[in-house]
Amino acid sequence: MKVLVFGASGMLGSRLMPYLAGQGHVAVAASRSSANGIEIDSSRKASTLEAMRTVSPDVVINLVGLTDVERCESHPKQAWQANVQSVENIAHASRVIDAHLVHLSTDQVYDNPTPSVEDAASPGNCYAITKYAGELAALQGGACVLRTNFFGVSQHAHRRSLTDWLLSALTEQRPVQVFDDMYFSPLNMTTLCGFIHQAANFKHTGIFNVGSHGAMSKADFAFAFAQALAMPSGHFNRVSAQDSGLLKAWRPKNMGMDSGLFETTFQIQLPSLIAEIECAAKEYRAQL
Ligand SMILES: NC(=O)c1ccc[n+]([C@@H]2O[C@H](COP(=O)([O-])OP(=O)(O)OC[C@H]3O[C@@H](n4cnc5c(N)ncnc54)[C@H](OP(=O)(O)O)[C@@H]3O)[C@@H](O)[C@H]2O)c1
């Protein structure tokens, strides 16, 4: 397939591009600063359509986003441009050239005491609200929307993942606060790239949660990651997110997802979070 990846220069894009090439696809990168691809601001409608017509991809994968939660809160217009307007333009152009659209969204739209199913979204900050509005725009283009969260080895020069940050704290024995009242069910980026590939291949439409089984608190995640690396973690301090004083914008506490719909639709068994942590630890160890 020829696959056009918007937001290819970001953290997930830097992992997805080589993954797609490794699967034998022609992967074309697009973002405002693509060194080896198309330089485009997808919040501009005409140039987005023009680029799409020029490349003429079979599949479009949209990873564009303003992902900094605090910045979204303080710059809502920028958040709207990246998380909604860009999606409107990409979805419109995908429809015009008849390409299948896979759009990445977030688990931040959830905050429920039990793992959330797809119709239980209740976005509560500017990032989540704009991502939710972006999903609606993507669905207008007949997209496959994947709500997810991820960690693992980042190949991006400046963007560090949660586990990159934890590894540096473990290596330097630096004291850090880890939240024991914030739950999530993320995937290792390698696994997520595989599922995005499946979504590109099978062309199902609608919204799907794509997370691991067995949601954990971010604190338990941090300790499990240290254990998987066999590194001492006595300098990790459990705190409540609110007491940490680190977060200004409101954050959901329970982002755990029920990904049963994805499993039955795509005939895929999703992994457990502990298995994903072990996978990531193996990938970090291979780099040392
Ligand atoms: N990071 C996470 O933990 C996480 C968790 C859940 C879901 N997600 C979702 O996963 C997707 C990828 O996340 P990520 O962490 O890889 O994001 P990221 O590192 O912040 O990258 C975002 C990408 O969007 C591009 N971009 C932003 N505005 C643009 C515009 N107007 N036109 C064209 N390109 C634009 C950026 O490139 P330029 O600045 O060069 O244009 C960059 O390539 C996003 O949709 C995000 O919401 C992320």
Q: Quick check: CB of 59 below 6 Å from ligand 1?
A: no
Q: Which atom of ligand 1 is nearest to the CA of 147?
A: 7
- Within the chain, how many helices (H) and strands (E) appear? 12, 13
Question: How far apart are the CA of 230 and the centre of ligand 1, in A?
Answer: 32
Q: How confident is the model at residue 227 (pLDDT cuts 50, 70, 90)?
A: very high
pLDDT at res. 242:
83
- Report the alpha-carbon distance of residue 141 to residue 99 in Å, rounded: 9
Q: Which of 67, 108, 221 to mutate to test the pocket of ligand 1 (most atoms within 8 A of CB)?
A: 67
Q: How confident is the model at residue 36 (pLDDT cuts 50, 70, 90)?
A: confident
- Whole-model pTM above 0.95? yes
Question: How far apart are the CA of 12 and the centre of ligand 1, in A?
Answer: 8
Q: How confident is the model at residue 34 (pLDDT cuts 50, 70, 90)?
A: low
Question: How far apart are the CA of 232 and the centre of ligand 1, in A?
Answer: 33
Domain ranges within the chain, ordered by starting residue:
2-158+187-211+255-271
The class that CATH gives domain 2-158+187-211+255-271 is alpha beta
Around Cβ 189, how many Cβ atoms within 10 Å? Answer: 27
Question: How far apart are the CA of 234 and the centre of ligand 1, in A?
Answer: 34
Q: Please, are residues 207 and 121 in contact by the beta-carbon 8 Å criterion?
A: no
Q: Quick check: CB of 63 below 6 Å from ligand 1?
A: yes
Exposure class string for 76-111: b at 16+ Cβ within 10 A, else e: eebbbbbbbbbbbbbbbbbeebebbbbbbbbbbbbb
Q: What percent of the chain has pLDDT over 90?
A: 94
Question: How far apart are the CA of 7 and the centre of ligand 1, in A?
Answer: 5
- Report the alpha-carbon distance of residue 186 to residue 239 in Å, rounded: 20
Q: Which of 4, 6, 12 to mutate to test the pocket of ligand 1 (most atoms within 8 A of CB)?
A: 12
The DSSP element (H or E) to which 100 belongs, if any, is strand 100-106
pLDDT at 125 over 70: yes
Q: Quick check: CB of 189 below 6 Å from ligand 1?
A: no
pLDDT at 35 over 80: no
- What tokens does 226 get? 């240290």
User: Which of 110-124, 239-253, 271-285 is predicted with the least confidence, judged by mean pLDDT?
Assistant: 239-253
